[in-house]
Structure 1
Amino acid sequence: MRILFPKFDKIGMPLLGVAAAAFFLLETKRQLRSRTRPRPERLLENGSVAATALPALRLLLVPAMFAAARLANKHRFGLLKRLGLPQWVRYTAGFLLLDYTNYLWHVLLHKSDILWRFHNVHHIDLDLDLSTAWRFHVGENIASVPYRSVAIALLGVPAPLVLFYEVIFEGCTAFHHSNLRLPYQVERQLCKVMVTPRMHGIHHSIVARETNSNFSVIFSWWDRLHQSLRLNVPQDEITIGVPAYRDPKEQSVKHLFLMPFERQRPWHLPDGTVPERVAHSPQEELLP
């Protein structure tokens, strides 16, 4: 299985580094939501989780996805290959379908009790910013290997597109997790096409119906298609996290690694109440 991808590593990764540095500086100067915990503590915690998750992504997930695409291409296997489409159509459709399969994967992470154990490590962060974009348990990245590889093979996506999509995927993940306050009117228009910080902030709310919405990664169209879009929540009313995990002491690196193997708690606050909110309408209208 091929491990080295010169263009991905020499062009894609540096571009992601520049984008991350820009988001880090911008979210410092233009903060969307007030922080509840010291930033250095969270950078240490989230960085420690990412220190195992990112190598698994680069050394296992990316090579596996590329290998699946190359094998499917070689044997003329997969939907797009069978249709005999022009190259530009195949690449365009492939990009869109890759994003759609990742929407479905994100939904599955929330619906499957086993997968949620790992994904919950990402959601119990008490703040949401750029560092949360890489706070994924290594087990979640490993679990995504068979799903994403099989999806790529079944679609017959061109192998080079897999690497290009992954760069855009990671860049958009960093963008919409950032705590960046964009001009409201700009973001209101932007979220009609792609996932934005305000849109994804709702996904990290402690209100269950808000957490179980806005699953898209790049294009917001998939949430509109499946009626899982929710934009009508004012940002200053959002409490980030999971209700049963409100103690900052549980954000320790040790607990984050062991949490998937512990008994999962019901979706309520420590005092037993379930967070709710009176919904504004219409649901598809982004609020400041």
Structure 2
Amino acid sequence: MRETVSQLMKIIFPKFDKVGMPLLGLAAAAFFILESRKQLRKRTRPKIERLLENGSVAAVALPALRLLLVPGMYAAAKLAQQQKFGLFHWLKLPQWLRYGAGFLLLDYTNYFWHVLLHKSDWLWRFHNVHHSDLDLDLSTAWRFHIGENFASVPYRSAAIALLGAPASLVLFYEVIFEGCTAFHHSNIRLPFKAEQRLNRVLVTPRMHGIHHSIVAREANSNFSVIFSWWDRLHQSLRLNVPQDEIIIGVPAYREAAEQSPKNLFLMPFAPQRTWQLPDGTVPEREKRYPPEHLCP
């Protein structure tokens, strides 16, 4: 019993910390250099100011991700394994299929979590901190309120348990999840033809840039994290916006002075503003191309 509890409460994962985290660090360094040299969208604010603001938010939120979310998901997987609980155990799938289908379905459940962050008024209060950034780049990938990370623990852990996903797969998926999150938030201008092909499978910077638009129907699209298939499946895909026409952010939060770490931390606890610009207008855009048409 004591051994079981010890396994469930485990917070140190050698391969995750000694292999996964350094690989994520190298990927982040590469994305940071590339977005400085191959910029996709023009910046609207000084880079150093945003790095300090987003870094302050991340400094509070990332420890919660590593010390609570990752161990919580691992514990859910180990408990399901011990109790032979979850879809994969009930179907008695072979190991190779549990890992393959598990990776896909873990990503699918995160599509729904992202939709929920936008549809739930309560969850949006926390996710708004991420979207209210006035530019979009690598640093935005870590600008998540600690409350959002706390809220994700029961959802993501429950999804893992219901699937019966292997614990080792959960840790592997999390490394890929974090790497892809950093990639599609980055401000890297990939060769257009290459991104067209890549986007048939993966979420790319152009695709996710549209998700951070101040136009409501664009912000409420492109919810996928790794595979772009889920947006295609649920008809929430929107690729038809030229990148130089996108204004990043939330229309009611356009003041740079409001981007201080203190204001960002308190934002979820203040009354939420209506989705409109300070002058009362609601941002819109004329539809010129089919939704699946990727624009430069």
Task: Provide TM-score, normalisation by structure 2.
Answer: 0.97
Give the corresponding residue for 2:265: 257
- Deviation at 1:280? 2.0
Give distance in 2, aligned partners of 1:107 and 1:207: 16
Secondary structure class of the residue paired with 1:229: coil
Deviations along 1:119-154, one digit per CA (max 9) or x if unpaired, are 000000000000000000000000000000001000
Work out whether 1:234 is the aligned partner of 2:242: yes
Give distance in 1, aligned partners of 2:205 and 2:158: 30
Work out whether 1:42 is the aligned partner of 2:50: yes
| Residue number among 52, 63, 71 corresponding to 2:79 in the alignment | 71
Secondary structure class of the residue paired with 2:135: coil
- Deviation at 1:281? 1.8
Q: CA RMSD in A?
A: 0.4
Letter of the structure 2 residue corresponding to residue 79 of structure 1: L
Letter of the structure 1 residue corresponding to residue 60 of structure 2: T
Letter of the structure 2 residue corresponding to residue 44 of structure 1: L
- Deviation at 1:64? 0.3
Secondary structure class of the residue paired with 2:249: coil
Give distance in 1, aligned partners of 2:287 and 2:250: 19
Give the corresponding residue for 2:199: 191
Letter of the structure 1 residue corresponding to residue 91 of structure 2: L
Work out whether 1:92 is the aligned partner of 2:100: yes
Work out whether 1:284 is the aligned partner of 2:289: no
Give the corresponding residue for 1:209: 217
Letter of the structure 2 residue corresponding to residue 137 of structure 1: H
Give distance in 1, aligned partners of 2:281 and 2:83: 55
Work out whether 1:106 is the aligned partner of 2:120: no
Secondary structure class of the residue paired with 1:215: coil
Give distance in 1, aligned partners of 2:291 and 2:22: 38
- Deviation at 1:267? 0.4
- Deviation at 1:81? 1.4
Give distance in 2, aligned partners of 1:257 and 1:283: 35
Secondary structure class of the residue paired with 2:165: coil
Deviations along 1:207-257, one digit per CA (max 9) or x if unpaired, are 000000000000000000100000000000000000000000010000000
Counterparts in 2 of 1:256-275, with a 5 A limit?
A: 256-275=264-283
Give distance in 2, aligned partners of 1:243 and 1:125: 11
Secondary structure class of the residue paired with 2:286: coil
Give the corresponding residue for 2:187: 179
Secondary structure class of the residue paired with 1:284: coil
- Deviation at 1:12? 0.2
Secondary structure class of the residue paired with 1:273: coil
Structure 1: gaps spanning 5 or more residues: none
Give distance in 1, aligned partners of 2:244 and 2:116: 29
Give the corresponding residue for 2:4: none
Secondary structure class of the residue paired with 1:263: coil
- Deviation at 1:84? 1.1
- Deviation at 1:86? 1.4
Letter of the structure 2 residue corresponding to residue 275 of structure 1: P
- Deviation at 1:261? 0.1
Give distance in 2, aligned partners of 1:196 and 1:78: 32
Letter of the structure 2 residue corresponding to residue 3 of structure 1: I
Give the corresponding residue for 2:176: 168
- Deviation at 1:85? 1.2
- Deviation at 1:55? 0.2
- Deviation at 1:270? 0.2
Give distance in 2, aligned partners of 1:82 and 1:47: 43
Give distance in 2, aligned partners of 1:212 and 1:80: 32
Counterparts in 2 of 1:116-195, with a 5 A limit?
A: 116-195=124-203
Give distance in 2, aligned partners of 1:287 and 1:86: 42
Work out whether 1:7 is the aligned partner of 2:15: yes
Letter of the structure 1 residue corresponding to residue 204 of structure 2: T
**Runs ≥4 residues deviating over 6 A:** none
| Residue number among 5, 24, 28 corresponding to 1:20 in the alignment | 28
Deviations along 1:141-194, one digit per CA (max 9) or x if unpaired, are 000000000010000000100000000000000000000000000001111101
Percent identity of equivalent pairs: 79
- Deviation at 1:82? 1.2
Give distance in 1, aligned partners of 2:74 and 2:236: 30
